[in-house]
Structure 1
Amino acid sequence: MAEFRKYLTAEEISEGRLTWTKDDDAVISEIFPQALLFSMKIDDEILTGLSVDREKRSLFVGEVIKNFAPGSEILLISPKTENAPVQCHIMVPQEQMIIQKRLSLQEYNGRYLKWFAREDNLYARLFLYKANYNIEIFGKQIKGRAPDFEKRKLFIGNLITVFSPGDDLLIRWATAEDSEIPVLKIEHISKAEQKVDGNAQMRAMVSRILSSAPISGYDKAELHTLILMLDENKKLWEKNTLLQEENQSLKEHLKLLESVCEQFSSNSMFQYRRDFEQFVLNRPGQIEKGLKVVLRDLVIELPTGRQKTLDALCIDRLGVYTACQFIYKSDMQEIDENIALIQYLHDNKQALKKFLPDPELEIADVRGLIIADSENDDLLEKSVQSGIKLAVVKTGSLIETWE
């Protein structure tokens, strides 16, 4: 099937007319049938009785395209069968795209935004020309990361914690022209302060019935009961509105407490690395239920000839061997080396057989677990992308995990 794409100009939109150049004649002749009149489907609307002016290279469409903004992209697709309508899709400009979504608990814990397969085209258009950009949340900007279209994720980082799971978010590009770098704004959609009483119209209707004359055709007792029920429903509505406002206030207080806790727990509670390692080795069950330490400090020889130490080899409650690495105030190089070691052991399970008490034992699978003393955006992103579980020991009783 032939396709034709172009961006609508202000003149085309004002005239309701689609035009093309001489270079596009070959494609246009494949899309528009040679018949005098034909039909075209624009999204969900079908236009009939259309005719192409091939000399002026134009097609009058009418009011249907006047609702779109200049710069909108139009896509024409040739019909599948002889009598089928020409397919037409009009997409708004990237800068005017607005995406509304609800933040889930999984997204909040993973510090990312996720979309579904049916939304691939939507997010692909959102990031079509934006390779280098910033993300702005509540006036604070951070450098944006390239979206992972394979996993359908956009990693945000700790800045997303200003929201709460269940919040409705608005994602759009900022319209500031003085900024050299494009800014993707993520905003919280606040509900209207004034709640509309859904039964006001019904109460007004009952009042009109009562005020009309004569009312002998109505049962006064039933009307009186209906009025009482509507008044009671109004009281419940007002009470529900008050509870929602109190709930919003509590959510704001909770955000404040979380930010304070984050401030005090962002730094490591351990003064030395050995204290951190000893804390983890003495209570592996707190890191993950049923986790037990089997061996310590295994020297693994990598294919490059270098040797790297595996901090601990554990076994979980399902009997799966777990390669554990401890990360204490590490830089990016050490993070990459630890992740590379875990991935090597996952792909080469037999490298661990010589360390087992019984070399005859078979290792069915090896998974990874990174235990860190503080949260780090790069560490979180790399571990999640590599499929390695991450546990952060923030305090003696607060351990966060990501998978």
Structure 2
Amino acid sequence: MRKTIVCLVLIQMLTSLPLFFPVYSLINELGVEVNGEKIAFMDAQPYIDEQTGSTMVPAREIAEKLGAEVAWNRSSMQVTFRSQHATSILTIGQKNASVDGKQVELDSPAVLKKDRTMVPLRAVSESLGADVDWVGERNLVLITSADKAQRSTWIWDSKLIETDGDRILQFAASQKLTAIYLRFEKYPSQDVYRNFIRRASGQGIKVEALAGERDWIYEENHIYIQQWMAAVTQYNTSVDALERFQGFHFDIEPYTLDKWKVNQTWVLERWMDTIRFIESRVKSSDRNMTMAFDIPFWINSVTVPGSSYSFSAWLLEKADSVVIMAYRNKALGSNGIIARAKSIILEAATLKKRAVIAVDTLPSTEADYTTFYKSNASLMESELKQVKESLSPYPSYIGIAVHDYVRWIDLLNANR
């Protein structure tokens, strides 16, 4: 269901997104990158469709770069793209495509040019689940494959799904969200969670159960972790598959305790005990649930007590994925998002784990450069484009997260 809806929404955006250049643009001024790697088209060169201004590219080269299988049927004059995200069929000369059996209107049809099938770049890329950005100042089309195009946010106030559920899901669609970290509490009611998660699943959005307190590292507080995880598990077993949480998401920040300043080793040891406790509970409750941790970028410089092994690598070993809180408001530079996240991205790649890069939109007591609070949504997206281009070549990188939903909405409203 998610595959179809995402493809339908994105392909129908063909006429509104900035991949249509003036007819007089020279094609040698245009660059196309997939996951940070520039494509050198060998069999046929891209060109601008004079009628629509759409960028047309060789079907096979762009699809195979995105991991899709391509089949050409000469008798029906159709090209078929098959990926784990969708099956799309384009017919030569027709301004519509079939995406998982649904008919979708295109701005520009597929054509044959010198015995090569040429297709609209954005249509094919997005039908395969990819994210497409236009970097105007560089005449660059930046394509991020589906496995690296995750976009997510945190919802800490779970009552919002009851009072503002429609707006949240509309926001999720407009921002192309693929994941929501939703705090799970005794309220709202189970039916409210069921309805929201079912609708989110219908939009192709996975929902992870969110919780965490800094004092959870104290052994006497492990009972609260156990009770929360048991409540999530009980909820999941009592609802339909599309209404279930797909993972446990923990935001435990014991370095904010006063104890961290006076006895860091003690805090680290308690933190490790807590992670081991969580790991054991996940294994005994529901092995289908993933386990994710929010971690600060600088934890890479901290070592496991009694060793030289980085604490971030130890956390990565325990988790299925991590969200790196690379809280900066610039992508580039020695103090930028990319530089701050790079060490853990490399560790995750070595350990074959997944990592999301997070930015913040809340006011900060640390410094203005740690948040987009005083910036605007357009500037934030511009910086995130650079993050995607730089980090998407790494196998561990899977996408972006913005903290949090409420302030992100405020940022967008301020932008208007």
Give the structure-1-normalised TM-score.
0.23
**Radius of gyration: which is bigger?**
1
Higher relative contact order (CA 8 A, sep 6+): 2
Give the structure-2-normalised TM-score.
0.22
